[in-house]
Amino acid sequence: MILRQATQSDYARLHALFSELVGTISVIDGPQGQARFAEILNHPGTEIIVADVAGQPVSTATLHVMPNMTFGGRPYALIENVVTLKAHQGRGLGQAVMRHAADQAWAANCYKIMLLTGTALGARGFYEKLGYDGDSKHAMILRRASQRQPLL
């Protein structure tokens, strides 16, 4: 397993990973998806980290390092889109990707790392084992009305 930054050539495999996370209907595809992927890869302070097994990304997390005016102007980090292909789960790949993301954030002098996780998938324990505290802050989300999912 190799930890590395994603490149444009990883688009198809990462598309498959993101589809496992949110479903194919929620992931941009085709030329528009490739263009958006390139935009993310080139965005200052953003890094898509992958765990590569046999030349294929099988686990990923996106790290955003954000400028900040508080805490002495030190940046903070946000981690999103953490996913490991189901066939590769339970091998420590997700933990390795998350530890690498944390290392990158600390190297950028971030004073904290934030992430959100869904309540239905039971991922909270995964993050807590890595040292994340789910009780010190409350996360809140506001979505545009047209993007809200109906309550079941």
pLDDT digits (tens, 9 = 90+) for 64-73: 999 999 999 9
Confirm whether 86 is domain-assigned: yes
Q: Domain for residue 60, yes or no?
A: yes
DSSP string, the chain: -EEEE--GGGHHHHHHHHHHHH-GGGS--HHHHHHHHHHHHTSTTEEEEEEEETTEEEEEEEEEEE--SSGGG--EEEEEEEEE-GGGTTSSHHHHHHHHHHHHHHHTT-S-EEE---TTTT-HHHHHHTT--SSSS-------GGGPPPP-
pLDDT at 5: 96
The answer to whether position 152 is within a domain reads no
Q: Which domain holds residue 13?
A: 2-147
State the pLDDT at residue 152.
45
Q: Output the domain CATH number for residue 82.
A: 3.40.630.30
Question: How many independent structural domains does the chain possess?
Answer: 1
Which among 145, 98, 93 is positioned nearest to 117, based on CA atoms? 98
State the average pLDDT for the chain: 90
